[in-house]
Amino acid sequence: MNVETDEDLVPAVDSAAHAVGDLPVMGRIPAGASRDDAVAHLREAARLVRRRDIQMVRAAGLGHIGGEFSVIDTLVTLYLGVANISPETVADPERDRIVLSKGHAAAALYTTLAIAGFIPPQELSTFMQPQAMLNGHPARTKIDAVEASTGPLGHGLPIAVGMAFAGRLDGSSRRTFVVTGDGEMQEGSNWEALMTAGNHRLSNLCVVIDRNRLQQGARVEDTNDLEPLTDKLRAFGFEVHDVDGHDHGALLDAFAQVPSASGKPTAVVAHTLKGHPISFMSNNVAWHHKVPTQEQVELALTELEKS
Ligand SMILES: Cc1ncc(C[n+]2csc(CCOP(=O)(O)OP(=O)(O)O)c2C)c(N)n1
Ligand SMILES: [Mg+2]
Residue 11 pLDDT grade (very low, low, confident, very high; cuts 50, 70, 90): low
Cα–ligand 2 centroid distance for 102 (angstroms): 9
CA angle in degrees (0–180, nearest 5) for 228-233-236: 125
Cα–ligand 1 centroid distance for 153 (angstroms): 6
Q: Taking the mean position of all CA atoms in its chain, how far away is CA 217?
A: 20
> Is 210's C-beta closer than 6 angstroms to any atom of ligand 1?
yes
User: Ligand 1 pocket check: which of 109, 153, 155 to mutate, most ligand atoms within 8 Å of Cβ?
Assistant: 153
Q: For residues 170-199, give the mean pLDDT.
A: 98
Nearest CA to ligand 1 atom 10: 216
Q: Does position 9 have pLDDT exceeding 70, yes or no? A: no
Helix (H, G, I), strand (E, B), or coil: what is residue 26?
coil
Number of H helices, E strands in the chain: 9, 5
pLDDT at position 303 is: 97
pLDDT tens for each residue of 224-276: 999 999 999 999 999 999 999 999 999 999 999 999 999 999 999 999 999 99
Q: Which residue has the higher pLDDT, 192 or 11?
A: 192
pLDDT at position 6 is: 53
pLDDT at position 307 is: 80
pLDDT at position 3 is: 46
Angle between helices 248-255 and 35-60 (to 10 degrees): 110
pLDDT tens for each residue of 272-287: 999 999 999 999 999 9
Q: Does position 8 have pLDDT exceeding 70, yes or no? A: no
Cα(180)–Cα(200) distance, integer angstroms: 21
- Looking at residue 137, the DSSP 8-state letter turns out to be S
Helix (H, G, I), strand (E, B), or coil: what is residue 125?
helix
pLDDT at position 109 is: 98
Helical H runs in the chain? 35-60, 65-77, 106-116, 156-169, 188-199, 220-224, 229-235, 248-255, 294-306
Q: Does position 216 have pLDDT exceeding 90, yes or no? A: yes
Give the rounded percent of residues in the chain with a pLDDT score beyond 90: 92
CA distances from 88 to 28, 91, 100, 119, 144 (A): 12, 8, 21, 12, 11
Cis link prior to 152 (omega < 30° from 0)? no
Ligand 1 atom at minimal distance to the Cα of residue 180: 15
Kindly report the number of other CB atoms within 10 A of residue 234's CB atom: 15
Cα(124)–Cα(242) distance, integer angstroms: 33
CA distances from 288 to 53, 201, 244 (A): 14, 35, 20
Cα–ligand 1 centroid distance for 29 (angstroms): 31
Cα–ligand 1 centroid distance for 269 (angstroms): 17
Domain extent listing, the chain? 35-306
Q: Does the 35-306 domain belong in CATH 3.40.50.970?
A: yes
